[in-house]
Structure formats: structure tokens, C-alpha cells
Amino acid sequence: MFEFPKNFAWGAATSGPQSEGNFKKKHQNVFDYWYAKDPKAFYAGVGPDTASNFYNDYREDIPLMRQAGIKVLRTSIQWSRLIADFEKCSVDEEAVAFYNDMIDTLLENGITPYLNLCHFDMPVELQHKYGGFESKHVTDLFAGYAKRCFELFGDRVDHWFTFNEPKVILDGGYLYQFHYPLKVDGPLAVQVAYNLNLASAKAIAEFRKLYGNDGTKKIGTILNLTPAYAASESKADQAAAEFAELWANKMFLDPAVLGEFPSKLVEILEKDGVLWEATPEELALIKQDTVDLLGINFYHPFRVKAPEISAKSLQDWMPDIYFDNYEMPGRVMNVDKGWEIYPEALYDIALNIRDNYHNIEWFVSENGMGVSREERFMDEHGMVCDDYRIEFLKEHLRALHRGITAGSNCHGYFVWTGIDCWSWQNAYRNRYGLIRDEIHTQTKTLKKSGYWFAKVSAQNGFE
């Protein structure tokens, strides 16, 4: 029996823009705008208008999630839904009523809410007017929005998170063109990375003003982490992995927990002439306002090798001038998603946090397997028999259990996701849920994995 610590949090994660739909929103976020402008950019032309209809169905959806053993739900507030005037930080009362009732419904069903403030859903008005997080002014607006959330909902919500996967904001919007604003600008991405860390610290500062630092209420951030694995022991491959680790993991992890950026990364960016613009006052704020806990999203390893072209070549600056991606021969794959399956990385993450980050409290905030055409696996009763997902979750939980046994301070495991949700450009091509959503009828039913997870949650472990 793999038993987990007492009060271990068995949960699921989703986000406002991926579950709620656009119902009664007064403002667009960047994905609402992009879909309205170019629906063909999205799989099967399916955008975020309806998503999984959580805005209308939450009173029915939440008991269904509880049936699947979900005791904690991490979701996000939509900045573009809650705030009526971004400069004044006034609120939309209809949105306040929705979030209040959603939180109350969670609590009535014995589900603890973990609320995130930004899940890739920058209000498009702020993107177009200021460049989104290209602007330090927007970091102030974000802190004001965070303060409003704390004031409105903090009487019932004890766990808050500033960002989900800030690195993906860089990758998608500023490097590799899979999120709006679809830019390719390495130096600008460096500044956005700094501003995201600054915005997080400013939001934490507002949290501290309201709640202090006594541990009764906690604030953190959610990072997609994995150790950077070198293709070989060669000096060149090891150097590539070192930079990849600095860029992909430590650029957000170190400021969040340790209060400062990695000196070697700063040195490289300064040498390359692309270091962010910062002030001593901002760096002092980042130093002071660190997180109480970490959410760690993990799906696949990050394998790299020495770049085929020297970083000294005449070329536009991008982080991957220092490394190339490496595909390990014989790897196990989720072929539908194109991601390697490597549970051992969760153990490595656990030890890294234990040894290098004060053994801070953390939890697996996302882990799951996206599979297409799941109707292939329906039984005669219409239930998806997703044994592949159960095995995926078991393998990762075994690796996590080893890390906890070794002393890592992990308090929970959250599946991505509870109910099949809309997934950015990929819409519903791959399904991740413990609960299936028939999107044309919004009929929701437990998959085999949902019944399995309920048992694991009830007995705090599995055989």
C-alpha cells in the first residue's frame, strides 16, 4: 500500500477561461479576442465561448467532482470577468456574485478552494494598450486586481496563487507563437519574465498587508518544473542543460522562493546585452515578498543537448541559442500529445525542492494524460475505460511517494483535470478529465479513472 501523509490534499486543477465559458463577461481576454479574430487557429474551430459550461453548471459539476474524490479544487478567477474598470479596479457585481456562489458551493460540498489569479488570460484591453506584462504599469494593475480578490473572497479562501506557469506566457506569446500576442522577440521575453516575477511580488505584498505572515492564509505561485536532463555527460551537453535549467526553472523558482535571480543567469543575460531593466527598489520587493508554498505542474521531462549552431553565431537572441531539444531513443511516449512519459522526474523535483529551496511546502498542482478520441475506450454503458490514465497516475504517484518518503515537504496531488476542459489552441482534441464532458450536450459522466481516484482519495493511497 502506498500511503500518503495525513491530511494529504487529493485534488484537481482547472482554470476560469478553460471551464467557465464567456457567459456575461464584459471584457475579452487575449484568447477570447484571438478566437474572435481567427477561429481557424483553434482545433476544429472550437473556441472558449462555452468551454465546459462551468459558469452555468457549477452547482451540478461540483457534486460530480466530489463524487470523483476531488477534495480540493484549484481554479482561477478571470481578471477579464471580475474587473469592470482596469485602471480604477472597480468590480463587476455579477461576476462577484458568480465567484461568491461558486466558492460557497465548493465549501458546501466539502471541497477546499485554491484560487489562482492569472492563468494565461491577460485582458486584451491591457495587452493592446500597454503590451500586457511588457509594461510595469500592468504589474501595478495586477497587484490592484489581486488586492480586490483577497478582499472579496479571502474570508473563505486560504490558499492563493499569483500565476500559473509564467514561463508559458513567454514561450507562447513571445518566443514560439502559440499564445497571443504571437510575438517572436527574445529580449522582450527576458523583460516580460522579470515583470512577471515583479507582478507576483507586488501581489504578495498586497496579501501580506491584509493577512501578514502567520501561516493561517498562504500565497504561492504555480510553476511548470522539470529538471533539465542532458543528452550525455559531455561538457557541451552539460553546459546546455545548465543554461536550460537556469532559463526554464530557476528564472522563476529562485525569485519566488529565495528572493533573487540566479547570478549565473544574470551574468549571461548581461553579457549578451539582453538583461531586463530593474530598479533597486523592485529587486528589494522581490527579495522581501517571497511565496509561502509552491504548486508544481509536471507532464514531461526537458531533455536538451548542445546546440548544432554555436551561440556565438550572428543571430537574433533567443534562449535556445544555448541548447537544442533532445529526443531520447526508446522513450515512452504519449503519442497523442507528443510528450515523453517520465515519472522519475517527480522524484528529482521533490529532492531539488528539499535540498535547494528550504524544503518549502509544495504540492503537485497539475499532472495528467491527454488522450484523443477517448470514445474508442467506451464500454457498453458509455463509460470511458481509461486504464492508461490510471496507470499514468499510479506511476507518477509512486515516484512522488518516494520523494515524500525521502523527506520532501509535499502536501498534495492534483490531477489535470476534473472535468474535460477547453485547452487553448487544442480545444477538445485531447481529453484530460476524470469526468467526461460531451461538449455538444454538456452531459458529464465519471470515467473509470474518476472511480479509481475516488477510492485513492478515500483511503489516502493505493495498492
Paired residues of 339 in beta bridges:
334
How is residue 30 written as a grid cell? 487575449
Q: Which long-range contacts (CB under 8 A, 24 or more apart) does 249-255 make?
A: 249/223, 249/225, 251/167, 251/193, 251/197, 252/166, 252/167, 252/193, 252/196, 252/197, 252/221, 252/223, 253/223, 253/225, 253/294, 253/357, 255/197, 255/200, 255/201, 255/286, 255/290
pLDDT reported for residue 153? 98
Mean pLDDT in each 10-residue stretch from start to end of the chain (463 residues)?
96 98 96 97 96 97 98 98 98 98 98 98 98 98 98 98 98 97 98 98 98 92 96 98 98 98 98 98 98 98 97 95 97 95 98 98 98 96 97 98 98 98 95 97 97 98 94
pLDDT reported for residue 214? 81
Burial letters 213-247, b for 16+ CB under 10 A, else e: eeeebbbbbbbbbbbbbbbeeeeebebbbbbbbbb
Residues listed for the chain: 463
pTM of the model: 0.97
- Measured CA to CA in angstroms, residue 200 lies from 181, 290, 339, 431 at distances of 21, 9, 29, 31
DSSP 8-state class, residue 196? H
pLDDT reported for residue 215? 84
DSSP class per residue in 81-121? HHEEETTTTEE-HHHHHHHHHHHHHHHHTT-EEEEES-SS-
How is residue 181 written as a grid cell? 500576442
Helix (H) and strand (E) counts in the chain:
16, 21
The residue type found at 57 is D
Query: Which residues are annotated as catalytic?
Result: 165, 366
Q: How many CB atoms lie within 10 A of CB 330?
A: 4
pLDDT reported for residue 242? 98
Q: What are the chain's domains?
A: 2-462 (3.20.20.80)
